[in-house]
Amino acid sequence: MLAINANRLNARLQAFAAIGGTTKGGVNRQALTEGDRRARRLLAELATARGFRVFQDPIANLFVWRNGRDETLPPLLIGSHLDSQPAGGRFDGALGTLSAFEVLESLEDAGTITDRSVVVVVWTNEEGCRFSPGCMGSMAFSEGAIPGLWQDKNATDGARFAEELSLTIQSLPEAAMVPLGFPVHAYLEVHIEQGPSLEAAGIPIGVVKGIQGTRWLDVTIKGQTAHAGTTGLSWRRDPLRALTSAFSNLYNTVMPGDPEARFTIGRISARPGSVNAIPEEVHCTIDIRHPDPGRLDEIEMFVRSQIGEEADTHGCRVQILCAFDMPACGFSEPLREVISHAASVCKVQSMPMLSGAFHDALFVNRIAPAGMIFVPCRDGLSHNEDEYVEQEHIVMGCEVLAQATLLAANCMDPFPDCTALHTIEPTF
Ligand code: GLV
Ligand code: MN
Ligand code: MN
């Protein structure tokens, strides 16, 4: 058993929650902002003080490296993300990152040399709320390239992606540059569940068997701006009217008709945005999710047809772009067994479960077996400043990660059949 230092982990969670901390006790530390840079700098300082080597790659993924016995073997990656939602909680991402760093320090405290190197990774822009899409860091790492289209992206606050990325990389001059994507033995990530299942079951550890699919749509409807007082109904080409009629149908059918489906409109804006003018153009984002890839396609088609029909009815034009497509994935069976075994070594109950949220592990799973350890969060609440994890669950998650790290980092052979396993469609 590798003992972790719970007090140190708690102190770290508090210190990082203060970076971008909100008055309501949450965190606003969106990707590639000054807050994100401060959090990365703090981790790099802590790492350097412990004698670990720090690297970053061209998408600003940050790596804290602890050498193993044989440096020619692909390392075990453990980690998560440090960016947050605009009104996010203190545990989404930070828990996994700081638990991983705690495991690295605990290995150091114990003087334990693992066969493979163990590397803590902080993935860039997991959330995708400031710059879309989400999981930019892990996606680029798994593809070995940064998609050209990302360079011209603008943030919701007007900032340019290329500039913010470059400032973020420059803010850590001591972190030597490594190429994007390198061979990885396996990847482990602790995360809060972000839903109610573990709490309802009274079980502290979830062994994640897979992640459901996510698709993001960017919807723009164009009509004609005109005077609010003089323009009668038959003269109006009102894009907001078209959009809200479509919404009403979609809210009434997508989720009520399929308990596994998720449908969310999280952002909407109208131009010119004047109290006494019909909008010229409206824009909204739509987030749809489903574990079954076929159903995800069907829902997307239904959304497109409903919005298209309402746009026609109201004399408007519509453009719908797919901004993010994250097909469902199933995680490697042998790595799930490693996590379940680690939980039993720690004498904590665990259960297999599906993730409703997406995670960087989904992209890493395309190049190496990935596994996730979930812990419960109070009332299943996340993407909310009130997000909360019980102290005992923080400790259990980190302990399970520590034991799983020992098992995976001392496993000399590649995990068997992993390539075949992560091409299999998940059965949920
Ligand atoms: C991750 O933040 C998600 O939206 O699932
Ligand atoms: Mn997260
Ligand atoms: Mn999140």
Sequence spans of domains, the chain: 6-212+328-420, 213-326
Within 6 A (CB) of ligand 1 lie 127, 134, 357-358
Ligand 2 centre and the CA of 325: distance in Å? Answer: 17
* Ligand 1 atom 4, closest CA: 357
pLDDT digits (tens, 9 = 90+) for 55-89: 999 999 999 999 999 999 999 999 999 999 999 99
- Which ligand lies nearest the alpha carbon of 94? 2
pLDDT beyond 60 at 30:
yes
Predicted pLDDT at 415: 76
The structure's pTM equals: 0.95
Predicted pLDDT at 425: 52
Output phi, psi for 135, to 5 deg: 60, 35
Ligand 2 centre and the CA of 119: distance in Å? Answer: 19
Say which DSSP state 151 is in.
G
How are beta strands 118-123 and 262-271 bridged, if at all?
unpaired
What pairs with residue 190 in β-bridges?
373
Average pLDDT on 244-261 reads 97
Q: Tokens 């609440």 belong to which residue?
A: 381
- Which ligand lies nearest the alpha carbon of 128? 1
Output phi, psi for 373, to 5 deg: -115, 120
Rounded Cα–Cα distance for residues 401 and 374 (Å): 10
| Fold of the domain built from segment(s) 213-326 | Alpha-Beta Plaits (3.30.70)
Closest to 56 measured CA to CA, from 136, 125, 121: 121
Q: Which CATH superfamily is domain 6-212+328-420 in?
A: Zn peptidases (3.40.630.10)
pLDDT digits (tens, 9 = 90+) for 88-145: 999 999 999 999 999 999 999 999 999 999 999 999 999 999 999 999 999 999 999 9
CB-based contact 358:214 (threshold 8 Å): yes
**DSSP state string for 227-286:** BTTT--GGG---HHHHHHHHHHHHHHHTTTT-TT-EEEEEEEEEES--TTB--SEEEEEE
Give Cβ neighbours of residue 419 (< 8 Å, ≥ 6 apart): none
Closest to 334 measured CA to CA, from 241, 420, 416, 220: 416
Q: How many CB atoms lie within 10 A of CB 26?
A: 23
With cut-offs at 50, 70 and 90, classify the pLDDT of residue 317.
very high
Ligand 2 centre and the CA of 93: distance in Å? Answer: 4
Domain 6-212+328-420 and domain 213-326 have a common topology = no
pLDDT digits (tens, 9 = 90+) for 318-331: 999 999 999 999 99
Predicted pLDDT at 246: 98
With cut-offs at 50, 70 and 90, classify the pLDDT of residue 417.
low
Predicted pLDDT at 56: 98
Distance, C-alpha 257 to centroid of its chain: 27
Q: To test the ligand 1 pocket, which listed residue (27, 359, 362, 377) has its Cβ within 8 A of the most ligand atoms?
A: 359
Q: Give the environment of ion ligand 2: residues with CB less than 5 A.
A: 92-93
pLDDT digits (tens, 9 = 90+) for 188-247: 999 999 999 999 999 999 999 999 999 999 999 999 999 999 999 999 999 999 999 999
Atom of ligand 1 nearest to the CA of 126: 2
Atom of ligand 1 nearest to the CA of 194: 5
Predicted pLDDT at 421: 43
pLDDT beyond 50 at 419:
no
Q: Tokens 């009403």 belong to which residue?
A: 248
Ligand 1 centre and the CA of 274: distance in Å? Answer: 32
pLDDT beyond 60 at 8:
yes
